[in-house]
Structure 1
Amino acid sequence: MTITKEAYVDLLEKYEKVKKLIEEDSKSDPENEPYLSKYIAKPLLIGMKANIENLLRNRTPETKEYIKLTAMLGVTLLNLGKISVETEEISVGEKYLTKCQEVIEKYETHPEFIITSLRTYNEIGLIWWKREVEKAKVYLEKAETLYKQFKETGLIPVDLHDLFKIDIPGYDEDVGKTNFEKDHTLTLYYLAQIYGALNDSLKSAVYCHITLQRQLESDDYEMIDWALNAATLSQFFMEKNGFKQARHHLAASSYMLEIYEGQLNQITDQNEYEAKIENFKHRSADVARCWAKYGLLLLSNSRERLLKHTEDIDATCSLSPDLAKLELNADSSVSREDLASLEFPTLNVAVHESQVTDQFVLTLDDARKVFLNVKMWLNRAHSYYTLNNLASDYIEIVQDQAQMYLNLSFFEDNPENQAKMHKRRADLLENVLKEVNPTYYMQYCRQMWYELAQSYGEILHIKMDKLKESNGRPTPHTLTKINSLVDKGILHYNNFINSFKDVSTNQIPRTIDKDYQKPLLQAYFHIGALYSRYITLDKQVMLNNVKASLEAYKKVTEYCVHNVDADKLIPTEVSICREMITLLPMKINKLEHEIL
């Protein structure tokens, strides 16, 4: 018996009502009833499910009508599953989705079923993501395989809404194609997260890039979000020494922000403009920070590369700033072709790329060019992130500025210029420390105290080397300067150490957080060394300094006694401390005898 037109019309009307509730009305649901529209849609879907199942009972399998009704049932079950999951009824949702999978399994790659298939496997994959990542990967890879199989057929996918229409002729094929491609893009996005969770970061990055590329091709993206995602992905590439790919993604991000800014300037409504310009400024500052991280890491990695290959670097170093030249393991999940295609050929980003190199830096002139760009990007970020409204971000930017001077100092041959860079680095950090309360920003204060001590230590080394090289008698000013640098180094190391004191006992606990154990031991070690750097003719002052040095070295060995394997964190320094604990008492006895 042929199904009446009224039966189809009834199903179409109900589906359209459900679609409106889910896609439109749910956006206006009250805060105290966030799932109101979805709860209204659910009984409508349950009624549709019952009606379709009744109609199927009298249909001959494999007929055109039977396949159409089966496709409609699959869509209904898919929506019931999605609503249940979204309203936090996970087990109920999983049952509906599993039932949907069973219903459509035989026809997965038919034009009427393919979109439902992709969405069903995506949804089940998301459910398993929170339970068992490997199983989630199986479902998502199934969706990826189905997409490829259907593409090979050359057929046109039918949109879910069109399934409920009475006549197939007249369908808008573009809607089906668009939704089909969007669902696959979503599959790839989920797979990127899955591979990230499975610690296959390179495969994850490749999928992230493909997702961004597909969004461009389909013109389905928000410019600000796309720019931020591209900039974020660049950070992964540069950590793998893929500076070519990192720069390209950052350039694409800046290109997109430039286009968006032009569109903003066309807005005439002041309220709309102010709302959007604030978000634009925020995200532009974030992208500027990503550019700055790029420059800082390029300088840092260039320094490490030069240190490891001091002679004939071109012949001895195989490290490349291009991921396409990365040496892959035999079992790698990505191919060289995957890595060679990490670009956006439709975007004209040459202008943005040309502002900074993507090659390792070799000379001071090259390093200075990168340095000036980093300085510009960090200043741009500081125009948005201020100490008053976003203190944590502000502090991190200052720390990057300090790192900028540290990285440049390596390429500088002139010791006086090196000292000036370290002094600039110290000034930046000290200015921030004057403004922030350690109670609220202790993590940052600890980092800055430690870095300040290191900065003054570097300046001290430069001054001491200059003193050794000079033939004349050191001036009182020079000696005062050196002792002042020792004072500041010890002060900041002590500030760092004292930050770990127990409030009730005013003592350093026997054991502190593992993340801080190594820097704590190093701080004690450096204090011990710094006390020996004081220059004085007063025997009593000498004696006090040697005693203080001995106490610092003892702190290192005492901590290692109470904490198993702590000595493995700084084996060389611990060995020196043990030696000094043996030698310094003899020096103390000698000084005491001389004083007497």
Structure 2
Amino acid sequence: MDEKMDSFYTEAAKSFKELYQLEFAPSNDPKSSAIFANKYKIRGILIAQADKAKALLATGNLDAALLWGFFTAKLANNFIETEEPRVEARNRLLEVVKFCESRVDLETREDLLKFSGLLQYVYNSLAVATEVDAKDGEQSALFWLEKAKSIYEKFKLMIDDSERPECWESLAMLTTLLEQDCLVKEVYENKSEKQKAAEFCLETLRRQLQFSPVVDNLLSTYGVANQKEIRVNKRDSVAVSPSDWLVSSLQRFDPKDWANNTAALSEYYVETEEFGKALECLMTARTVVCESFQNGNSSGLGHNLNGTKLWADISWLTSEYSLGLLEGGSKVILGSRFTIDPELVDTSPSYGNLFNQDTTKALQEAYGEPIQDTGLTTMISELSIMPKAYPAAARLFRWTCRSLSEALLYYRLDERCTEAIKLIRAHASAYGFLATFEADLPRKCCMQKRRVDLLEDLLAQLNPRFYMLACRTIMSECAEALTALRDLNEEKMKRTTIRTSPTSSLSSTNIVAELSKLAKKVNGLGLRALEMYKRLLDSFLTPANQREPDLYEEEWLPHVLMAHFYSARLHSKTIVAGAPRNRVEKLNLAMKAYEKMVEIADKHARSGYKVDMPEVEIAREMTQLLAGQIARTPLDA
């Protein structure tokens, strides 16, 4: 029997070397067909070795069991990588679990040292192979992650730091799990379990940081890093234990993937309004990736990474975080019905407890001022709390714009249009949110005008045939921005009227000229907004006969209703001079728009659509009020 084991060890060592070469074959194209071809070659090797190891299980040799479990787990992840039905991967992984849980005593130090690494790897793999909506509580993704965590904690409790599990795969980056997609995205999509999900994701990221130096040292020690060949034939050299072969399958800690996953985790903390933790995730991600890839003499954080997908993705998530804070503060000031409950806001951010990394440089660049001028605590506070006044809002605005600019270096409109559209829309939104905090009326107008310019320029570059959905969204946002700019200019006109007094040094001629100029500007902006709303509504017309659809898609129904609502408002607020008949014409247009909105809403409600919008009831009341106002207006006055 020893001869069979020796023969298997020798063949397994050769297989490990071949697997290593196939897994890390260089390729400039991540979608290269050669990579996928290698994965199927890897599958063939793994199937052969797993079958041979399984035949040795009857011997009771735990080393054979360890190798069989490892080959089988790697094979299961190969099925996941090639995006095949996950049931095959689950069945193979469950076979390993069943064997280990029936034959291995993890209460003994020897078995725990030998199998804890393998079981962590298998349990984590099962979490990914399990469907998100699994009904059986014992087979859920979180169930398997809890099992992996319990093994890890038991190992830390029973084994001192001088020894590591024999199967080191659990300490490597989870490269085989769907190409490094963060577990928080792939496994934890069940919203009812998001808190526990984030905890597991955080634990995984912490372990990767903790063990990355250990793995590097291990690879160097055993010769994998410098391509030394490991011999296991007893006739050639001293036999090498199975743990040494398992080491050769390790990958080094990949800071790119770690940074992407950590930045993605920030989205969860934003949802729960733990902004301090979200900020730490983003700053740590930027710090780790820059320390790994940036030259020491670079002028700024991420300078050498500009234009890469990695830096663009992290910058995009950063911009979403800062824009979210800016939006939240804006809504509080406006008194919106979507105002966030102040009791839920993280007003005393917890920073630095997640990863314990020095992120001073990243914080300084985000804040925009040297640390000598501002304390670290102040920086963290202002970057993790919704702004209440213009200075804090302006700081977040500048940070948002810098992050968006970094993202747009990779997501260019002429190359990656869909992503670029979202980034440019976010840039326009930032101007709108900042305007909320600005007290100076002319400056508010400039901000809204910049917002309009960004959206109109973006719309002009898009072909509606290919980007109709995006065009509709941009039309709606642009019309809203034009309406806001119109209202600001109307406010400017009112202030000019109030400022004028009998004792004013301005001549009446100059006052009338200024008011006339402002009135034309107000009406011009209102007309542009009306035209934009009309473009939006016309985009839904049936191409064959230019008729509106019987029923709108549920996703777009609110947009259509609000387009009629705001069009009615713009008609009613048009500044009209001359005979009352001119005023009545505008009121009639407004009433028709309100009536159209009510008609569409009622029609869809009868068809089973959920139309729960307070604006519909307002429009219903306005049709009656406007009808009375029109009736009371003398046309020949």
RMSD value over aligned CA atoms? 3.7
* Residue 114 (structure 1) aligns with: 116
Instruction: Find out whether 1:513 has 2:518 as its counterpart.
Output: no
CA distance in 2, matches of 1:303, 1:131: 37
CA distance in 1, matches of 2:517, 2:88: 80
CA distance in 1, matches of 2:182, 2:407: 29
Q: What is the deviation of 1:484?
A: 0.4
Instruction: Find out whether 1:397 has 2:423 as its counterpart.
Output: yes
CA contact (8 A) 2:118 2:169 kept: no
Q: Within 5 Å, which residues of 2 pair with 1:446-465?
A: 446-465=472-491
Q: What is the deviation of 1:246?
A: 1.9
* Residue 277 (structure 2) aligns with: 245
* Residue 202 (structure 1) aligns with: 195
CA distance in 2, matches of 1:403, 1:459: 14
- SS of 2:464's equivalent in the other structure is coil
CA distance in 2, matches of 1:373, 1:99: 51
* Residue 349 (structure 1) aligns with: 359
CA contact (8 A) 2:182 2:261 kept: no
CA distance in 1, matches of 2:52, 2:610: 70
- SS of 1:200's equivalent in the other structure is helix
Pick the aligned partner of 1:234 from 266, 275, 281: 266
CA distance in 2, matches of 1:179, 1:44: 17
CA distance in 1, matches of 2:20, 2:387: 52
Kindly provide the CA deviation profile for residues 127-184 of structure 1, in whole angstroms up to 9, marking residues without a partner as x: 4336726313333322322232233222799xxxxxxxxxxxxxxx557374454499
Kindly provide the CA deviation profile for residues 48-68 of structure 1, in whole angstroms up to 9, marking residues without a partner as x: 433442xx3xxxxxxxxx4xx
Q: Within 5 Å, which residues of 2 pair with 1:7-156?
A: 7-25=4-22, 34-53=39-58, 56=59, 66=60, 69-73=61-65, 75-76=67-68, 79-80=71-72, 82-83=74-75, 86-87=78-79, 96-105=92-101, 106-109=103-106, 110=111, 111-129=113-131, 132=134, 134=137, 135-136=139-140, 137-154=142-159
- SS of 2:574's equivalent in the other structure is coil
Residues 450-459 or 198-207, more deviating: 198-207
* Residue 574 (structure 1) aligns with: 616
Residues 122-131 or 495-504, more deviating: 122-131
CA distance in 2, matches of 1:37, 1:186: 12
* Residue 214 (structure 1) aligns with: 207
Give me the TM-score of the superposition, normalised by structure 1: 0.79
CA distance in 1, matches of 2:410, 2:90: 45
Kindly provide the CA deviation profile for residues 389-414 of structure 1, in whole angstroms up to 9, marking residues without a partner as x: 12222222221221111111111112
CA contact (8 A) 2:132 2:188 kept: no
CA contact (8 A) 2:295 2:304 kept: no
* Residue 433 (structure 2) aligns with: 407
Larger helix fraction of residues: 1
Instruction: Find out whether 1:225 has 2:257 as its counterpart.
Output: yes
CA distance in 2, matches of 1:191, 1:364: 35
Q: What is the deviation of 1:99?
A: 4.1
Give me the TM-score of the superposition, normalised by structure 2: 0.74
User: Unmatched 5+ residue regions in structure 2?
Assistant: 26-33, 213-251, 368-381, 501-510
CA distance in 1, matches of 2:128, 2:631: 72
CA contact (8 A) 1:108 1:146 kept: no
Residues 280-289 or 290-299, more deviating: 280-289
* Residue 321 (structure 1) aligns with: 346
* Residue 479 (structure 1) aligns with: 519
* Residue 281 (structure 1) aligns with: 308
* Residue 176 (structure 1) aligns with: 166
Residues 295-304 or 378-387, more deviating: 378-387
* Residue 636 (structure 2) aligns with: 594
Q: What is the deviation of 1:198?
A: 4.9
CA distance in 1, matches of 2:55, 2:445: 81
* Residue 450 (structure 2) aligns with: 424
- SS of 1:83's equivalent in the other structure is helix
Q: 1:176 to 1:185 in 2, by over 3 A?
A: farther
Q: What is the deviation of 1:191?
A: 7.9
Q: 1:89 to 1:72 in 2, by over 3 A?
A: farther
Residues 465-474 or 541-550, more deviating: 465-474
CA contact (8 A) 1:405 1:421 kept: yes
Q: 1:494 to 1:434 in 2, by over 3 A?
A: same
- SS of 2:456's equivalent in the other structure is helix
- SS of 1:500's equivalent in the other structure is coil
CA distance in 1, matches of 2:52, 2:548: 69
User: Unmatched 5+ residue regions in structure 1?
Assistant: 57-65, 158-172, 267-275, 310-315, 326-339
Q: What is the deviation of 1:21?
A: 4.6
CA distance in 2, matches of 1:582, 1:284: 56
Kindly provide the CA deviation profile for residues 300-346 of structure 1, in whole angstroms up to 9, marking residues without a partner as x: 2223344569xxxxxx9544436878xxxxxxxxxxxxxx875221x
